[in-house]
Structure 1
Amino acid sequence: MADSNTPFTLPQMNLPDSARLAENFEKISERSQRLLQEFASRNTFQIPDPGIVAKSFGELSQKLLSDPGRLIQAQMNFWQEYLNVWQTSAQRMLGAEVEPVVKPAPGDKRFKDDAWVENAIFDFIKQSYLLAARSIHETAVGVEGLDEKSAQRIEFYTRQYIDAMAPTNFALTNPKVLKETLESGGENLVKGLANLLEDLERGNGQLRVKMTDLEAFEPGKNVAATPGKVVYQTPLMQLIQYTPTTAEVFEKPLLIVPPWINKFYILDLGPKNSFIKWAVDQGFTVFTISWVNPDESLADKNFEDYLKEGTLAALDAIKEATGEKEVNAVAYCLGGTLLMSTLAYMAAKRDSRIKSATCFTTMLDFSEPGELEVFIDEEQIELIEKQMAEKGYLEGTAMAGVFNMLRANDLIWSFVVNNYLLGKEPMAFDLLYWNSDSTRMPRRMHSFYLRNMYLYNKLKDAGGISLLGTPIDLKKIKAPVFFLSAKEDHIAPWTATYKGTQLTGGPVKFVLGGSGHIAGVINPASSKKYGFQTNDKLPPSADEWLAGAEQHEGSWWPYWLQWVAQTSGEKIPARQPGDGKLTPIEEAPGSFVKIRI
């Protein structure tokens, strides 16, 4: 590490070619004018709604002004600490060894460039920002007298503001950007502006930040490439049957129900981390639902249609394809909510074709939905419904933007710096390609889901929801259920998903994986990362469960295999797609998954 008073040295400025620079700016100017005209002509809709956010901060201002003493004290505390930062920075510039007044959080990747530590000026900028961010956050979230919903919004959007104002996000206060600007003679900023315009063009006037090389992947080639065939389809889904890789397979097929808010191939990204390929290799006859990317023609499809033309239709098709009536089922996130709703409906109809259910990061009780609760209230849902009424669906980019905001530094600002300030192209990364491959939601279905699950939390109540004219009750589910949650999940918090263990009427196993909503699930059997926790007891409280949990190393996949094998029957000769009564329609992964928005 360099001496603390070592000056920050920048390379010699390279002068850009003036003719090329003029040509670039001319092209940029033409594109900018066209994009501004397009944007002005569009009736844009935003999640979150700026008016709702402004109203919450208006309430905050009133509360702060009603207690001026508290606000003055907060300002005095800030200035005292800021003076400490100034004094220690001045001492450091004179060669003294001093400890920083404030440090970044251990997992904060924004300040990993050596200059933030080695150079006294940038260290001062960093500490000043961290101190201001802490002061703003503590002042905003510490106000008493706000209703719970307003307090949640203020905390969330204060954090969004703080993240946006980080010095790393600005060219003049980011040492890495400054260095690149001088080395390239400003070419990085010109290229970054071109990248910005390209993202605006791709979003038809709305910014869609590119997170990966969108040309590097293609479903059926290097993602969603596990061999198989589409053997059945409805207006809402295609059913894929995968080609076996073992001479014998379990008697009971395995049905996978993915979320309809994203494409199914999160479970089939590549050979090394594909849950689908791994399940095929373990001797399962695997079927996967591939949901349609709906347009306005499917606006009136409801949650019941996803039941009738999705899970129930898949069960009927599997019997036609294999001759086997009973299956084990696996579902992810929203797909798990649908799967458990299906099981409750089937229980009411005395239909026991699903022998076991596995739910990845699935909420059944929505009383504690985590940070997503910021976007769930009557006012915001009405706005979403109004927008959906115009198009017949909710744009996939709207929900993608919400999820990205939950991890703004990783999923927004890191790409702003890389793409627009450094002028670089993002790396090819299959997970981020999948993340950018958003899907729409039909108007009626999404409204039903938002209201009955998130807003009113009816699924947990006996008879709270009726499907196809039948009141459902999760307690009537007698099939064994395996819940897999992730300890750092920011979309379906594990303490919320744990509540599902108390709602069904059969045997339950709860397993807590490491990491987050994706990595905690896609943790291949060969991986030595994360580990998982188990506890044979299921106390009412998630904290009680964790206190008695046992830690295991490696992936939870083999542990699950032992559990599901108990309801999978004997081994029989492998089944090939097309062996049964269903004639294959096309090669996997099918055409539905290839529809991009």
Structure 2
Amino acid sequence: MINHESNVIEYTYTDQHAVPYDVSEPLNPDYAINQLLAQFTGGIDPVAYSLAFTDWFIHLLLSLGKQQALLDLSLTNASTLNKNLEKAADDNRLSGPEWQTWPYAVYRQNYLAMRQWWQLATRDVQGVEKHHTDMVNFSVRQWLEALSPANYMTTNPQVIHKTLESAGANLVKGVDNFIEDIQQQYFREPELQRQETYRVGENIAVTPGQVVFKNNLLELIQYSPDTEEVCAEPVLVVPAWIMKYYILDLSEHNSLIRYLVQQGHTVFMISWKNPQQEDHNVGLIDYLKKGLGEAIEAVQQRVPGEQINGVGYCLGGTLLTMAAAWLAREKRNPFCALTLLAAQTDFSDAGDLRLFIDESQLSMLEAVMAKNGFLPKESMAGTFTLLRANYLLWSRWVKEYLLGERQHPNDLLTWNKDATRMPARMHAEYLRQCYLHNSLASGQFMVDDRPIALADIQVPLFVVGTAKDHVAPWQSVYKINLLIDKDITFLLTNGGHNAGIISEPGHAHRVYQMATRKEDGAYLPPQAWLDEVPLQEGSWWPVWQQWLTSQSSRKVSARPVEAIKTLPAAPGDYVLAQ
């Protein structure tokens, strides 16, 4: 219930059907074993990967045809320059002209031959479970990316050239960079932290506004209007709680929030609390009811009589669809339209993240979380680094430690370092319900002992996927077309999970494809959609903003936001918590 005097909710709700995480209980001996293993494996379950490699290896031994194909490929690559090797290359660092000269061309050729051989060896082995195939292929890919000749001083022509040119100064600088990073990562040197170029509330997350509601899960920010008139229906933005909300409010030039305000929208933003140990028993239903549910009520109180344009990003979009289905079931429909940004609702083909999720690996993860009551932010950051190791790990290794060149700080990199934690109970429920069992898409996700169905959502949708998304592959995001029979405008933009969404007007090299499937329209498979829909130049923000405006009933006078004595101004307090 909302305490109207303080605008604070007393946090009392818990989901009685979830398994609680009580860190005060004596340690489960099974947890202790898994926790010990996790210290040596980085949280990766050795049992799960042992089973995967055993399944693959035994079936490979039984596949005489595959063995013959591997032998033929080895002989072909050994006897001639195989032009098909280019298809095995996905490391752009090997594409420069310097890699075409001796001896670097030999290093490159041998590396690409090895990649091609292992890709053939780990794919399409008859009898191997698909999940095991993907796990083996992913593991081998990580190993191969580590072995790229671009990663080593003696085999990278760019590093050798710079070392000779600078008389080794780049290596000295690289060692300094490495020591500095170790100090900041493990010793939290305060002087190093003061050198940050971007600071929340100073030069990022500075769109004017006021926290208008707060509880134990979130702060709700209402942004000050920038136009005399606004669309009658407010916009409520729901970010994921695996990230700080200001990914959508970076610098002035690329803030999605500022852009919406300037286009005449009343904008509310949820800023999630960064969980502490005492939040270990907060569940997914708590985020749905005491989080988003109470935020919706607060928006309705401040903008009475109007429906809401709901916007959800990543996991926030998943939660938004849960809320829309739940409230539709209860005959309460606060939304006039929904926008989903890189958000999945069907997790049956959810990309490489599924490689870390099965019963064995979840058991280890739950043991790790039980120790502190949350998933440490380093674990989440490490997982995302593995998904894009070539870009996030090895490219940085070469640039900063071998070439001695620091990455220029920018707002997106600053945000990326500002990681968050996950409450143990919520994270376990989310992974099991969505990834492992796909309960939301199958109509088995329970709210108040009754399932919710996405088919109950009866408002138009605008859905954005990004072409290089390693977290929510666009083909997975596209599956919402099979779950909701309403007008769905699907837009595919270039870029990844974050950079594809932060695609402000004027950003160079931006393209997108967009088409609308009407309520009575036929379903088009993803590849057919990709082939048929024309490519357009520029940012997708303007066409989305036009769609948002088209969902509004009328224009009204702008709604001023006044300071509240008991609550902070934007960006609020929760976003600053470490």
The TM-score with structure 1 as length reference comes to 0.83
Residue type of the alignment partner of 1:485: G
Match of 1:511 in 2: 491
Instruction: Look up the SS of the partner of 1:357 in the other structure.
Output: strand
**Residue 510 of structure 1: how far off its partner (Å):** 2.2
CA separation of 1:104 and 1:460: change in aligned 2, threshold 3 A: closer
Match of 2:80 in 1: 84
**Residue 361 of structure 1: how far off its partner (Å):** 1.4
1:261–1:441 CA contact under 8 A, matched in 2: yes
Give the one of 384, 407, 415 matched to 1:434.
415
2:504–2:539 CA contact under 8 A, matched in 1: yes
Residue type of the alignment partner of 1:593: V
1:100–1:127 CA contact under 8 A, matched in 2: no
Match of 2:33 in 1: none
Write the deviation string for residues 509-532 of structure 1: whole angstroms up to 9, x where unpaired: 222223332233222234462122
**Residue 358 of structure 1: how far off its partner (Å):** 0.7
- More deviation, 468-477/536-545: 536-545
The TM-score with structure 2 as length reference comes to 0.85
Give the one of 103, 110, 126 matched to 1:121.
103
Separation in 2, partners of 1:585, 1:44? 44
Residue type of the alignment partner of 1:420: Y
CA separation of 1:177 and 1:475: change in aligned 2, threshold 3 A: same
Sequence identity (%): 36
Write the deviation string for residues 410-453 of structure 1: whole angstroms up to 9, x where unpaired: 11100111222223322212222222221111011111100000
Give yes or no for the alignment of 1:109 onto 2:92.
Answer: yes
CA separation of 1:168 and 1:551: change in aligned 2, threshold 3 A: closer
Larger Rg: 1
Match of 1:586 in 2: 568
CA separation of 1:125 and 1:496: change in aligned 2, threshold 3 A: same
**Residue 227 of structure 1: how far off its partner (Å):** 1.6
1:247–1:573 CA contact under 8 A, matched in 2: yes
1:47–1:402 CA contact under 8 A, matched in 2: no
CA separation of 1:230 and 1:53: change in aligned 2, threshold 3 A: same
**Residue 363 of structure 1: how far off its partner (Å):** 1.1
Write the deviation string for residues 473-520 of structure 1: whole angstroms up to 9, x where unpaired: 211111222212223322212222122123235433222223332233
Give yes or no for the alignment of 1:150 onto 2:132.
Answer: yes
1:224–1:270 CA contact under 8 A, matched in 2: yes
1:539–1:545 CA contact under 8 A, matched in 2: no
Match of 1:181 in 2: 163
**Residue 67 of structure 1: how far off its partner (Å):** 4.8
**Residue 256 of structure 1: how far off its partner (Å):** 0.3
Residue type of the alignment partner of 1:125: Y
Instruction: Look up the SS of the partner of 1:240 in the other structure.
Output: strand
2:223–2:261 CA contact under 8 A, matched in 1: yes
Give yes or no for the alignment of 1:346 onto 2:303.
Answer: no
Separation in 1, partners of 2:269, 2:69? 59
- More deviation, 519-528/270-279: 519-528
2:481–2:523 CA contact under 8 A, matched in 1: no
Separation in 2, partners of 1:70, 1:231? 63
2:88–2:112 CA contact under 8 A, matched in 1: no
Match of 2:23 in 1: none
Match of 1:16 in 2: none
2:466–2:500 CA contact under 8 A, matched in 1: yes
Write the deviation string for residues 393-413 of structure 1: whole angstroms up to 9, x where unpaired: 111221222222222211110
Separation in 1, partners of 2:181, 2:562? 43
RMSD between superposed Cα atoms in Å: 2.9
Separation in 2, partners of 1:110, 1:545? 31
Separation in 2, partners of 1:587, 1:52? 48
Separation in 2, partners of 1:239, 1:421? 45
Residue type of the alignment partner of 1:115: E
Separation in 1, partners of 2:430, 2:116? 37
Separation in 2, partners of 1:344, 1:399? 29
Give yes or no for the alignment of 1:280 onto 2:261.
Answer: yes
Match of 2:24 in 1: none
Write the deviation string for residues 544-577 of structure 1: whole angstroms up to 9, x where unpaired: 4445434433222222222222332322221222
Separation in 2, partners of 1:205, 1:67? 51
Instruction: Look up the SS of the partner of 1:483 in the other structure.
Output: strand
Separation in 2, partners of 1:480, 1:493? 22
1:267–1:274 CA contact under 8 A, matched in 2: yes
Matches within 5 A, 1:354-393: 354-393=335-374
Match of 2:59 in 1: 63
Write the deviation string for residues 43-95 of structure 1: whole angstroms up to 9, x where unpaired: 4662433443344233333333445775466245324423435xxxxxxxxxx
Separation in 1, partners of 2:202, 2:319? 29
Separation in 2, partners of 1:428, 1:259? 24
Give the one of 528, 536, 561 matched to 2:545.
561
CA separation of 1:218 and 1:153: change in aligned 2, threshold 3 A: same
Residue type of the alignment partner of 1:520: G
2:488–2:516 CA contact under 8 A, matched in 1: no
Match of 2:20 in 1: none
Structure 2 residues without counterparts, runs of 5 or longer: 1-35
**Residue 470 of structure 1: how far off its partner (Å):** 4.4
1:64–1:71 CA contact under 8 A, matched in 2: yes
Matches within 5 A, 1:166-177: 166-177=148-159
Separation in 2, partners of 1:48, 1:494? 26
Write the deviation string for residues 243-286 of structure 1: whole angstroms up to 9, x where unpaired: 11111111211100001111111111222221111100011111
Match of 1:327 in 2: 308
Separation in 2, partners of 1:368, 1:43? 30
Instruction: Look up the SS of the partner of 2:462 in the other structure.
Output: strand
Give the one of 225, 231, 240 matched to 1:244.
225
CA separation of 1:100 and 1:295: change in aligned 2, threshold 3 A: same
**Residue 312 of structure 1: how far off its partner (Å):** 1.4
Write the deviation string for residues 280-306 of structure 1: whole angstroms up to 9, x where unpaired: 001111110011111111111111111
1:488–1:516 CA contact under 8 A, matched in 2: yes
Give the one of 496, 503, 508 matched to 1:523.
503
Residue type of the alignment partner of 1:419: E
Match of 2:455 in 1: 475
Residue type of the alignment partner of 2:202: K
Instruction: Look up the SS of the partner of 2:94 in the other structure.
Output: coil
Give yes or no for the alignment of 1:165 onto 2:161.
Answer: no
1:334–1:362 CA contact under 8 A, matched in 2: yes
Separation in 1, partners of 2:317, 2:302? 24
Residue type of the alignment partner of 1:504: I
Separation in 2, partners of 1:198, 1:256? 37
Instruction: Look up the SS of the partner of 1:241 in the other structure.
Output: strand
CA separation of 1:398 and 1:572: change in aligned 2, threshold 3 A: same
